[in-house]
Structure formats: C-alpha cells, structure tokens
Amino acid sequence: MADDPHPLSVLDVPGGFAGLPPGGLVTRAVRRGRLRRRRDEPLLWLSDGPVETPAAAHPAPAGLLPVLLHDQYGPERWWQDEDYVEPDRCSDPDDHDAETVLREWWDAVVPDPEEGEEGAELIAPFGRSWPGTARPGTPAAEPRAAADAVAGELFAQRWLGDGPRLALAPAGRGADVPAAIGWCGPVNHDNDTARVCAVLRSWEDRFGARVLAIGFARLDLSVAAPPRTLAEALPVAAEHFAFCPDNVWQGSGTVRDYAAEALVGAAHWSFWWD
C-alpha cells in the first residue's frame, strides 16, 4: 500500500499555491522506519521573503498550520545547523504530561536552600515545592480574535523584526508546531521540544493560548483568557518560571514582580531562552 501523501506535498507545485506568497519547502534528512535509514523529508513551507500580515491571514491547506518566524539570524540558517534544528531529537507531545514536565522543570530551577532569603524572595509567595498548575482563565475574547489582535500589535510595534517570514507546518494543533519543525530554541533549558509542546497544549486548553511566532530562541503566544488579578497571575507566573526561567532571571527579577508586570491582563506572552 502506498504511503499517504505528505501534507506539504500540495505546496510542491510549479507556480506556487494560490493565495500564498512565493516560497518553497524546507527539507531535512531524518531517520525513519525499522532500519532507521536517513532520507530527505519536508519539514515546512517557508516564504521567500517577509510578509506584512499575520500568519492566520494566509490560506493553509488541510493538515498545515501557519506561523511566523522571526527574521533574527535568517530562518534558512536554522535548518543548516544540526545543533539547533534537529527533528530526530524531538519525541511526541503525546508522550508527556504537562504538569509532570512543569514540576520537573520547577525542581530544576528553584533556588537551593543555601541561597537563603534572596532565593526565597525569587520564588515568593511559593516555596521550593511545586505549587501545582494554575486554574483555567476566564475568556476575554475568542482565541482567533485574540490571536489576530495580538498579531496586529506585534506587526505595528515591529516586535517580529524587519522581515518576519511565513511558515506552514504539518501539525494537528498550533501547540505542536515547534516540535513539528524540529525547533530547538529552548535547548539550553530542555533539548526535547515535545515537552515544551505538551505545556503549550495545556495552555491552549486553559488559557486559549495560540502560537503566533517562533524565533531563534523566542516564542510568542496570544492569550484569550489571561489572568485578571495578581492572585490569578501568581500561579501562572510559577508555570512561566518553570517553562522559561530567563523571563524572571533576566527580566522582572522575582516571580511576584513578573506576575504583576507581565501577566495581569496580558494577551501576549513572550519567552526567550538564553
């Protein structure tokens, strides 16, 4: 029986796909099958040049999801660096439980008891034990509407740089796009992006989060149900600290300040890994 056609195969046609800017497939040698033989497979479709409208404004064939790629370092270079983008490195998001992953990350980044008051202040009002996941948020907008609004703001503020590129990735849901394209931006925090995607799935479900843009080591989400008060934001901040500790270490300085400054009412969540 012949293999089912790859979702990206519909874009590998002369003249391009109606409604999309000029672009082409990015392929990568991956290992497949019982013998683990390497063969070239398409990872994603990438526009040749910058786009000026949000990803969701462009048509996407069935089985493909749009996402914007920051122009930092040039997206083509990402797939030339085997230490950065490595599809074989990712497991499957289905293999991971979001809370288990967050707990493991929290345990790895909380300050040691020897750090005393300074370490305690960093994670206050929480202690060193994992505080658990935050309760689902109350929707302030429909996820698509929130995504469109945030994407428009990112373009207006040039948050995505001078030339964000449009990509189409084979994924069943937006949270899985980073693993689908073999992205390893958080490699210094966790080298299996599927674990990151497991948490993104949970945020999709609890907060109406949507993956808007991916950078060399950055990730931007829209949020339809953000925390409305500091009390609601604090447990979300604990999750963010576990997910991307650099947001606190190199940003607000403490989990409490991060919750107040970056999360209360915020429809845009941004992460950067050093």
* Alpha-carbon span 67 to 270, nearest angstrom: 15
Query: Is the pLDDT confidence value at 163 over 90?
Result: no
**CA distance to 1, 107, 227, 244, 249, per residue, from 258 (Å):** 54, 19, 13, 12, 10
In a domain, 20, yes or no: no
Beta carbons of 210 and 221 less than 8 angstroms apart: yes
In a domain, 71, yes or no: no
Confidence of residue 4 (pLDDT cuts 50, 70, 90): low
Q: Which residue has the higher pLDDT, 14 or 147?
A: 147
In a domain, 239, yes or no: yes
Beta carbons of 217 and 80 less than 8 angstroms apart: no
**Residue pointed to by tokens 């497949």:** 32
In a domain, 182, yes or no: yes
In a domain, 140, yes or no: yes
Q: What pairs with residue 272 in β-bridges?
A: 218
Confidence of residue 2 (pLDDT cuts 50, 70, 90): very low
Q: What average pLDDT score do residues 9-14 get? A: 75
Its pTM surpasses 0.95: no
In a domain, 22, yes or no: no
Query: Order of strands, edge to edge, in the sheet holding 268-272?
Result: 23-32, 37-50, 165-170, 64-69, 209-214, 218-223, 268-272
Beta carbons of 182 and 43 less than 8 angstroms apart: yes
61: left (phi over 0), alpha (psi -120 to 50) or beta: beta
Beta carbons of 210 and 141 less than 8 angstroms apart: no
* Alpha-carbon span 198 to 92, nearest angstrom: 9
In a domain, 72, yes or no: no
In a domain, 252, yes or no: yes
**b/e 23-41 (16+ beta carbons within 10 angstroms → b):** bebbebebeeeeeeeeeee
Residue 151: its pLDDT value, please?
A: 94
Return the DSSP state at 161.
-
| Closest to 179 in 3D by CA, of 44, 41, 27 | 44
* Tens digit of each residue's pLDDT (9 = 90 or more) over 169-198: 999 999 999 999 989 899 999 999 999 999
Q: Which of 16-30, 63-77, 95-109 has the highest mean pLDDT?
A: 95-109
- How many domains does the chain fold into? 1
| DSSP reduced 3-state for 188 | coil
Q: Which two tokens stand for residue 251?
A: 């940003």
**Which domain range does residue 184 map to?**
98-161+174-210+218-272
* Alpha-carbon span 116 to 65, nearest angstrom: 46
| DSSP reduced 3-state for 174 | helix
Q: Which residue has the higher pLDDT, 57 or 188?
A: 188
Pairing mode of beta strands 64-69, 209-214: parallel
